[in-house]
Amino acid sequence: MLFELKSVFLNDGEVKELTYQYDISQIEVDGVFPFKSPVTVTAVAQNRASLVTLTLDCSFEYQRSCDRCGEERKLTMSKTFTHKLAQTLIDEGNDDYIETPDFTIELDEVVTTDILLDLPQKFLCSSECKGLCPICGHNMNQGECGCNRHAIDPRLEVLKQLME
């Protein structure tokens, strides 16, 4: 979605808002397609004292398996991202600003990048997830399995003698 910002750049105090749906269901993350609904994006560009700020409010459904226990979880996520915009950049290595030389910005690219960079590296169903039993594979969130998890791996038995 192309967002035209000429009036925002040229008029101090100007605010422009745009709301749209963006489908990212074809994006693969760790071998799965976790985006089950289009992203609802509300973009607000605002000029305050000649500093143009773009705020993106994004909400979407995210569904994938927990990296610890394997349970499938569906979450409704809401994220807010803020960017400073400039018509031209003097320093090309400046990552603090997004350059908009023709007073337009392609929102789809910015939204996709922001969402993917903000996703957790390890997706957990909850912060208290206990994972799977390493012996039998039982989901420990559903109760104990009765396995003796304190047994020492026979390959490391020799190290036990050092502790005695």
* pLDDT tens per residue across span 114-137: 999 999 888 888 889 999 988 888
What is the arithmetic mean of pLDDT over 10-32? 90
pLDDT given at position 156: 79
Percent of the chain residues past pLDDT 90, beyond the cut: 39
Non-local CB neighbours of 40 within 8 Å, separated by 6+ positions? 19, 20, 21, 58, 59, 60
Among candidate residues 133, 134, 152, 135, the one with its CA nearest the CA of residue 144: 133
Among candidate residues 69, 15, 56, 60, the one with its CA nearest the CA of residue 33: 60
pLDDT given at position 96: 81
Between 142 and 94, the more confident residue is 142
Among candidate residues 9, 41, 28, 53, the one with its CA nearest the CA of residue 116: 28
For residue 46, what are its two tokens? 């605002």
Cα–Cα distance between 55 and 71 in angstroms, integer?
34
Q: What mean pLDDT value characterizes the chain?
A: 88
- Grouping H, G, I as helix, E, B as strand and the rest as coil, residue 113 is helix
What is the arithmetic mean of pLDDT over 6-11? 88
Cα–Cα distance between 66 and 129 in angstroms, integer?
9
Q: Are 35 and 60 in contact (CB under 8 A)?
A: yes
Q: Are 111 and 56 in contact (CB under 8 A)?
A: yes
Name the most confidently modeled range: 10-14, 38-42, 86-90, 93-97.
38-42
Q: Give 79's pLDDT tier (boundaries 50, 70, 90).
A: very high
User: Tokens 């992203």 sit at which residue?
Assistant: 39
Q: Give 80's pLDDT tier (boundaries 50, 70, 90).
A: very high
For residue 95, which amino acid is it?
D
Q: Which helix (H) or strand (E) holds 162?
A: helix 157-163
pLDDT given at position 106: 92
Q: Which helix (H) or strand (E) holds 153?
A: none
Q: In the predicted model, is pLDDT for residue 94 greater than 70?
A: no
